[in-house]
Amino acid sequence: MKLQAILKYFSLLFILLYSFHVNAQTSWRYEPFVVPDSSLYDISKLPQPYSDDYPQFRELYEEAWKLAFNHISYREGMPHTPFIDEAFCAVNDWIWDTQFMLLYWRYAHNMGQWILTNKNFYAPIHDRAETSGSIHIFDNPPLFAWSEFLYNKMDGNNAHLKQLLEKDQYLQRHYHWLDTVQPNFWIPMWGSIYTKIKKVDNGYLWEGGRSGMDNTPRGRTYAPVKEDRPNNPNMLWVDAIAQQALSCDYISQMFEKSGKKKEAKLWRAKKDSIGNIINTFYWDEEDQFYYDIDQRDYSFIKVPTPASYWVMLAGLVPSDRVEPMVEKTMSAHWFGGDVPFRTLIPSDPNFSEDGDYWRGAMWLPTTYMSVKALNRYGYHDLAHEVAVKTIQHQLKTYQEYSPHTIWECYSPTEPKPSYRHDINEHARPDFCGWSALGPISLFIENVLGFYDIDAQSKIIHWNRVLEKPHGIDNLCFGDIVTSIKWDGKRVITHTNKPYTLVVNGKKMKVKPFGKVNTD
């Protein structure tokens, strides 16, 4: 027992010293120890979106890609290199950041196998593979199945899908790992922070930093939270359980695509079981909203945040509860307004007009997730409105605030980056990083409206809202390269191979080098 206590003491001391070293080396700026590679950047190989309604969105789109390609890193000793870097800290790698980044890097799948960045997490955690990297938080949100599914829809790489699901089984293993891992799990030199997640009856104990929402006041009972990272040890996190359900959902869908009906049914049943728990314990009938809960008596901890929309993204909201959730995305008192999906509602006692990181700031990962939740339930026009407002806020900040760049997170009240009071600085600049989700993914998927692109079924779903000329050239999905344009009167397409284009519910067969006209 004495030896165990000594080992634990030295382990904790090492973590503290290592974290101090990282902070001292990287500070608040991106100062890589490895050389980023922007040489691969070639705008002509990327999709070319445009809109006469929002012509300046194109400038932000190109800036986002330039910054993103500048954060491709090479590091010897990694399970896979080169890899996409989160633009945060060169000595650590974040699961949560990387998964969101893959959701726009899939549009550059013809320029590299960026999805293999995930091997830098899978191999050390599940195979105990040697790595020169350091996973900062092992129990970050489990979003691998989501990123793998959407990336596969874009690149159509069935060989990778088969390897992932049937041989390596990393997605299934990660789901079960999160259900069994105990607090204080840590692999020396492969990670710089030990785990805190713990599965208990009807949910998961967790913590703000592990959830990704570092200084969120979630867990607060009555008085406003003053400290940087409050932690209610009895709180069950609604996003943790919903994200596990999301993993089940996409694992099931991937098995369905692979023709594995039995496995698909098994994972669908797991998702449904989790959904029953969420809808029994986490739904507050009074506020018509999903909240975190206290494990001791299942009482609601009423700190509204976009984290509740993970339930909607996972497809778990019953039909009679959808409208109340959607209405809150339009209400300025909740998550609507000129700056959508602020991370606290304005009436919250911890809401900061400067953003203060997760106390009001607009973050692209949670905004993007929430927009995708609206898409899942068919609210495509509303998703379009939210996407326009989001990119406009990013663009106005880019134009009016110096340095003129893309930021880690944004003020909920003004065109400027969020402030973080605990370190007396603004959020990180040049953050592409996940903030490219706005200028790239939301622009393509929700402003222009190409919200579902599937290389497997060779179908593009287009919610065409804009009336002025707009469209996209050089869109690559699978082995198809196409351009789609609305010229103000008709739809015009060019493609190297046939596919189906569904415009506002109407199916059209697109033939090579053909033309499609609509009313």
The pLDDT tens digits for 203-226 are 999 999 999 999 999 998 777 887
pLDDT reported for residue 263 = 98
* DSSP letters spanning 138-160: TTS---HHHHHHHHHHHH--HHH
Q: Which ranges constitute the DSSP H helices of 282-349? A: 309-313, 319-330
Q: Which residue has the tokens 């293999």?
A: 116
pLDDT reported for residue 28 = 32
Q: Which residue has the tokens 């080992």?
A: 7
Helix 238-257 to helix 144-155 angle, to the nearest 10 degrees?
30
Residue 508, domain member (yes or no) = yes
Residue 454, domain member (yes or no) = yes
- Chunked in runs of 10, what are the mean pLDDT values of the chain (519 residues)? 48 44 35 61 96 98 96 91 86 94 98 96 95 94 98 97 97 98 89 93 96 94 76 93 98 96 98 98 98 97 97 98 98 97 97 96 98 98 98 98 97 96 89 97 98 97 98 98 96 96 96 63
- The CATH number of residue 464's host domain is 2.60.420.10
Residue 228, domain member (yes or no) = no
Burial of 474 (0-12, 13-18, 19+ CB in 10 A): middle
Residue 15, domain member (yes or no) = no
Beta strands in 175-279 (DSSP E): 198-200, 203-205, 235-236
pLDDT digit string, tens, across residues 406-461? 999 999 999 999 998 878 889 999 999 999 999 999 999 999 999 999 999 999 99
Distance CA 68, CA 329 (A): 29
> What separation in angstroms does the CA of 51 have from each of 59, 370, 464?
11, 23, 12
Cβ atoms of 213 and 343 closer than 8 Å: yes
For residue 55 the two structure tokens come to 């012509």
Q: Which ranges constitute the DSSP H helices of 140-237? A: 144-155, 158-162, 170-180, 208-211
pLDDT digit string, tens, across residues 323-363? 999 999 999 999 999 999 999 999 999 999 999 999 999 99
Residue 68, domain member (yes or no) = no
pLDDT reported for residue 34 = 53
Residue 159, domain member (yes or no) = no
| Number of domains present in the structure of the chain | 1
DSSP class of 231: -
The one-letter amino acid code at 16 reads L
Residue 100, domain member (yes or no) = no
For residue 197 the two structure tokens come to 């997640």
Cβ atoms of 418 and 410 closer than 8 Å: yes
pLDDT reported for residue 330 = 97
Q: Which residue has the tokens 């633009």?
A: 87
pLDDT reported for residue 514 = 55
User: Which range marks the domain in which residue 506 is found?
Assistant: 448-519
φ, ψ dihedrals at 474, nearest 5° = 55, 40
Residue 356, domain member (yes or no) = no
Q: Which residues contact 366 (CB under 8 A, 6 or more apart)?
A: 213, 305, 306, 307, 309, 341, 343
Distance CA 50, CA 67 (A): 20
Cβ atoms of 412 and 390 closer than 8 Å: no
Q: Does the predicted TM-score (pTM) go above 0.85?
A: yes
